[in-house]
Structure 1
C-alpha cells in the first residue's frame, strides 16, 4: 500500500494537480483517491465509471468498491503469510506471481487483497466520508452502463425465478418491489428484472450524489450508457463504454454510428478533463444534477436527460436503502 501511494505521489509531483479516471476496479481506486487525505490538493476532478452508488446498497459491498475492515485484512494477511511459509516482505517479494495471484477480484465480498478501512489512506466508511464532507471538493462524472450490476441483456428467466429473486433480495419489501416491477410471464419477468437492476444503479447514483451535494460545492454529472457495441451479444454491458470515451474503436467492424458516438463521448470526456465541465461546442448539453434531480444523461443510443425511474420507484428504493446497514 505504501508503495502504491508513493507511486501516486510521484505522478502528482511530475504532472501537477490532475484529474483522475477509472472504470470498475479502477473506479473504486479513483474513489479511494478522491476520498483520501493523502491526495489533498493534488486532484482537480474525477471520472468514476461503473460507478458510485448509495452506500446502503448491498451492491456496494459486492462490486468493485467493496472494502474490508483493518482487522479482517490483518487476519487475512497473517493467514496468507503462513500459507506460503513467509514472515517478511522480502520473502513475499521472492514468490512467483502464480503463488500471489490467489485472491478473488478485489471488489467482491470475499476477503482478499483489496480496499481496507484503515482510517489513514481510507479516512472513514463511505457513509461517514460523505456525511462529514471528507472527500476532495472537485467536479465529478459518474454513472453506469445499462446491462451491468445484475442487469443482463440476454437474461432468460422464468416468472418463478423472478419471484424468488425478488423475495430473497428485498425480503419484507418484496411485495412492494413486485408491485413496482410487475411481471406475468417469462418475457415480462426478464424485462422487470433488468429494469429493477438498472434503476437500482441510476437511483443509487443519484442518492450518492445527494449525500455529496449536501456539503460539497463542486458539480456532479451522472449518466447511463445504453449503446450495445457490435461484435458481442451482451448489450450495453460492463466496460462497453470505454472504447467510445477513448475514441479507440478496434478489433471488430464498427458502423458509422459507432464512430459518431465515439466522437461525442470522447469530446465530453476531453472537455471535462481540460475544463472540469463536459459541455463543449457541438455537444448535447449535459446538466449537472442537484438533490431534486430525477434524470440522468443518456449516452450512446440517445443524448440528453433520461428519467432514472418513476417517483414511486425512487421512493421505494429510498425506503429500502434506509432499512439497510451502510458501508
Structure 2
C-alpha cells in the first residue's frame, strides 16, 4: 500500500471534542491542501503504574489546547523501529486524517490497525492518501506482548474483560469522530497481517456490536483447518496455555504478584520484552466469544460486509523499509558517490523515520502508484458503500476502475491487482483438490 502526503498550505484549526472520557479539549492541528491532520490525540490515560495490565482507563478532566501537529509516544515493542520515535507507556493515542474541513461533514471512517513490528507514527502508514479519497482515516497505537496480552489467575479475578485497547480506540472514534468530519454511524475497521488480528477480533466480538458497518482484512484469512491458521492472524491461545505462559513470564522477573510487575521501572519492562514468550490473543469466551471455526459456522457478532485479500508473495519477499540516518547517508554515498548530495536534496533524511521513507521512495515506479491509486479507491469505495466498485473515489481522469467481482468457494479464481488487473486462476484442479482433502483431515482451529 502506497500512501502519499503533501505538506502545503499549513494552517491551524481548532476542533471542540466531547469525549466519552470526561475531559474537554481543543486540538491544534495542521491543514494540508485538502486534508486536515490531527496527531497524538489520547484516547485513554497512561498505562504505567497501577494502569499496567488493565483495560484502557479514562483520562482525568482538563481544559486546554493540545498541540496535535506531532505524533505522540508509541507503545513499547520488543524491538526499536526508529530512534527518532518516543517510546513510553503514555502511548494510547491516535491520529486522524480528514477530508472534511468542518464538523458538519459526514465522511465515511476507516480505522486502521497496523501490522506487526509497526507503530501508528510510521510514515508508511500516513493516512493522507486515503483521506484524499473522501474518507476520515484513523490509526492508533496498540499494546503488544506482556503489556497487551499477559494472562494470570490474579488478573482474571481483577478484570471483567481483556485489555481491549483496540475496542477502546473504536469507542473513542465512534463517540468523537463527528467533530473531525466523520460519520460515527459509518465506521469500517481495517488491518493488515497482525493488524487483521485486531480487525478480525473486533468483527467477531459482541463488545463492538453496532459500532461498525464493515471490515477490511488484508493478509489475515485462512481456512480454519489450515495448520498455519494457528500461527498467523487468527492465532489465539486457550486460557490454560495463556496462564502457563503468564506464570513463566512472572517467574522470569522474580515476581509472584501483579503489584510487583506494576512497580517495575520502564527500563526493566524493556528488558522483559526481549524474552521469548508467546503472548497473544486469549480465547476467553467473552471478548473473544468462540473459536475461529465456531465464528465461521455461526457467523460473526457483527453482520457486516467484509473485504479480504492477501499480498502476493508476502511471506517470500521483503524490503528494508526501516533504516537510520547514518546508514542511509552511507548508502547514498556508496551508491551515488559525487551525486549523493543531489539525491539527498530530493530524498532528505532529517531523522530515522524520514530516512526510511526516502530509502523506499527510490524504488517506487509508476506501477506502484497505479496499484496504490486503485487499491485506495477500492478501500474507500467499500468504506462508503460496502462495495469496492461503487463510489466516487477513483479519479475520472484515469478512466474506469477495474471491476472487482464477488467470489465464493466454488470459484477457483482470485482477483489480482497489479501485473494485469482481473480474475486469475488460483491453481489447477488437482492441487486444489489435494489441499481441500488435506484440510479436511486436520483438526479445525
TM bin (shorter chain) = 0.5 to 0.7
**In the TM superposition, what is the alpha-carbon distance from 1:143 to its structure 2 partner?**
1.4
1:121-200 correspondence to structure 2 within 5 Å: 121-149=287-315, 151=316
> Corresponding residue for 1:242?
none
- 1:274 lines up with 2:384 in the alignment: yes
**In the TM superposition, what is the alpha-carbon distance from 1:69 to its structure 2 partner?**
0.5
What residue ranges of structure 2 are gaps of 5+ in the alignment? 1-161, 178-183, 319-357, 395-399
Whole-Å separation in 2 of the counterparts to 1:29 and 1:3: 10
> Corresponding residue for 1:50?
219
Q: Indicate conservation of the 8 Å contact 1:139/1:276, yes or no.
A: yes
Helix, strand or coil at the partner of 2:361: coil
- Cα distance, 1:83–1:113 mapped onto 2, change above 3 Å: same
1:200-215 correspondence to structure 2 within 5 Å: none
> Corresponding residue for 2:173?
11
- 1:85 lines up with 2:251 in the alignment: no
Whole-Å separation in 2 of the counterparts to 1:88 and 1:268: 49
- Cα distance, 1:130–1:3 mapped onto 2, change above 3 Å: closer
Helix, strand or coil at the partner of 1:300: coil
Bigger Rg, structure 1 or 2: 2
Whole-Å separation in 2 of the counterparts to 1:304 and 1:137: 28
Q: Indicate conservation of the 8 Å contact 1:103/1:113, yes or no.
A: no
> Corresponding residue for 1:177?
none
RMSD value, Cα: 2.5
Whole-Å separation in 1 of the counterparts to 2:255 and 2:171: 29
Q: How many pairs were matched up?
A: 227
For residue 254 of structure 1, the aligned residue among 358, 364, 378 is: 364
Per the normalisation by structure 1, the TM-score is 0.63
**In the TM superposition, what is the alpha-carbon distance from 1:324 to its structure 2 partner?**
0.5
For residue 278 of structure 2, the aligned residue among 99, 112, 127 is: 112
Q: Which protein is richer in helix relative to its size?
A: 1
Whole-Å separation in 1 of the counterparts to 2:418 and 2:443: 34
Helix, strand or coil at the partner of 1:141: strand
For residue 285 of structure 1, the aligned residue among 400, 403, 410 is: 403
Helix, strand or coil at the partner of 1:46: strand
Q: Indicate conservation of the 8 Å contact 2:203/2:301, yes or no.
A: yes
> Corresponding residue for 1:311?
429
- Cα distance, 1:38–1:44 mapped onto 2, change above 3 Å: same
- 1:2 lines up with 2:163 in the alignment: yes
Whole-Å separation in 2 of the counterparts to 1:285 and 1:131: 29
> Corresponding residue for 2:373?
263
- 1:301 lines up with 2:419 in the alignment: yes
Whole-Å separation in 2 of the counterparts to 1:308 and 1:132: 27
Q: Which protein is richer in strand relative to its size?
A: 2
Per the normalisation by structure 2, the TM-score is 0.47
**In the TM superposition, what is the alpha-carbon distance from 1:119 to its structure 2 partner?**
0.6
Whole-Å separation in 1 of the counterparts to 2:290 and 2:248: 25
> Corresponding residue for 2:238?
69
**In the TM superposition, what is the alpha-carbon distance from 1:87 to its structure 2 partner?**
4.0
Q: Indicate conservation of the 8 Å contact 2:367/2:418, yes or no.
A: no
- Cα distance, 1:310–1:3 mapped onto 2, change above 3 Å: closer
Q: Indicate conservation of the 8 Å contact 1:48/1:142, yes or no.
A: yes
Helix, strand or coil at the partner of 1:119: coil
Whole-Å separation in 1 of the counterparts to 2:404 and 2:367: 20
